[in-house]
Amino acid sequence: MPTPRSLIDKLVGTIAAAARSRNERRALRLAKLLRTLISERGESTGAVMARRAVALYNGLEEDGRRLFFDILARDFSPNPDEVLAAAQAYRGDPSPATLARLQRVTEPPRQEVFRRMNTAPDGTATLVGLRRVLIASLARNPQLAAVDADLTHLLGSWFNRGFLELRRIDWGTPAAILEKLITYEAVHEIQGFPDLKRRLERDRRCFAFFHPALPDDPLVFVEVAFVDELPSAVAPILAMESAVGDPRKARCAVFYSITSCQPGLKGISFGNFLIKQVAQDLHEELPNLRLFATLSPLPGFRAWLRGQSSGGGIAAAPPIRYAAAAEPAATPGETLASRSRRWRRTTSHTSGTTATRSIPWRDSTSETARGWSASTGSRTRRPRACASRWA
C-alpha cells in the first residue's frame, strides 16, 4: 500500500512533468510562429506576430527557454547544401550576383527572427534579456555560441554609438533611474540615497548612456570627482562627510567608477566612448580642468603578480617588482604616493637624467593604459599615475 509520502512525491512529480510539458509545448509553438513570421511579407500581420512571439518568449520558464535556444541553434542555421552550392558558384563566377547569393544563404535565419522580434513593443528589452539568459547557458551548452554570435552582431548594430544618448544624472533625475544607479553600481557600492546625493553634488558628476528603446534604463554610467590634485586613494572621494568643493577651482577630474548595467550587452563596448565624450564635455564646461585620470581597483592583482616570473616582461620592471613585494599600508597615512616617493628614493642612485612628456588627452589612450612614462637617458622607468594632461 502506497505511503502518504510516496503519494505526495508522485503528485509533485506529475505536476512537474505537466509543467515541463507545458513549457515545451509553448517553446515549440514559439518556434513554429517564428518560422511563419520570417516568411511573412505583410507589415501589419508581421507586427501582430512579432508581439505574439515576444509574449510567448517572456512566458517561457527555464526548461522552455533551453529548448527554444536548442531549436534556434539547430533549425534556424544556414542550410549547408545551399552554402556549398553558392560558394562553388561564386568560385566559378565571382560576380556581384553570385556574391549576393552567397551572402544571402550564409546568413542564419535566426538573425531575421531577432530582427522581427525587435519590431515588437519592448522587443529590444526582450532580446537584451534573452541574451543575458543565453550567456548564462553557454558554459553548459557550447553549441549555443553561434546563436550568441548572431544576436551579439545585431545588438552591436542596434546599440551603435550614433543611437546612444548621453545624459547627466543629478538629484533632479527621476527617482526610478536613481534607484537603478544604486542597484547597478558595481565598483563602489552606493550606501543608499544619502551616499548617492553626495556623489551628485556640484563637485561631482555622473553621466550615463541611454538608448531610445530603453529610455529609463541606463546602459553604462561613469562617476567623476573634481579635486585639486591627483588623489592616491579613493576613500576621500567616497567619504559622505567630505566638504563640497568648487568645481571652477578644481584642477583634476577623476573617473573613479564606471559600471555596465546590462549583462545582456556584454562584449558591446560603451565605456570607452562614454569616458572620451564626458572628458570632452567637462573640458568645455570647466576649462580650469587640466588633468583627467582614472582611479580603479585591481582586486587580486598583487597576488597574481607575485606568482609571475621576474625573468622578463612587465613583471621585471622595478616599480612592478616593488608593488608585488609591498604589503597593504601599515598606517592610514601611508598612501600610494608616499610609496611611490619611497621607491624613487631607493632607486635614485641608478637613475640618470629623465625627461617625462606630458601627453594630450586625445593621444594618450595606449600609453596611459599602461600607466608608464618612458624615460630618456636612463635605464629605468618611473611610475606614473594613469592620467592625461590637456596640452
Residue found by looking up cell 544607479 in the block: 181
Pairing of strands 291-294, 252-260: parallel
Same domain, 19 and 148: yes
- pTM for the whole structure: 0.73
Confidence at 182, pLDDT banded by 50, 70, 90: very high
Same domain, 154 and 29: yes
Structural domains of the chain, count: 2
Among the candidates 294, 318, 350, a domain finishes at 294
Among the candidates 140, 158, 176, a domain finishes at 158
Confidence at 27, pLDDT banded by 50, 70, 90: very high
Question: Does the pLDDT value for residue 42 go beyond 60?
Answer: yes
SS3 content of the chain, % helix, strand, coil (to 5): 55, 10, 35
Cell of 97: 550576383
**260 vs 336, higher pLDDT:** 260
CATH number at residue 103: 1.20.140.90
Same domain, 249 and 130: no
- Dmax of the chain from CA atoms? 94
pLDDT at position 381, please?
31
Average pLDDT, the chain: 80
Which of the residue ranges 65-79, 120-134, 328-342, 346-360 would you say has the lowest mean pLDDT?
346-360
pLDDT at position 370, please?
30
| Sign of the torsion angle spanned by Cα atoms 104, 105, 111, 115 | positive
Identify whether 311 is part of a domain. Answer: no
pLDDT at position 82, please?
95
Average pLDDT over residues 222-235: 91
Q: Domain of residue 231: give its range.
A: 162-294
234 Cβ contact partners less than 8 Å away, ≥ 6 residues apart:
188, 256, 295, 297
Average pLDDT over residues 276-284: 95
CATH number at residue 208: 3.40.630.180
Quick: pLDDT tens for 75-122: 999 999 999 999 999 999 999 999 999 999 999 999 999 999 999 999
Identify whether 51 is part of a domain. Answer: yes
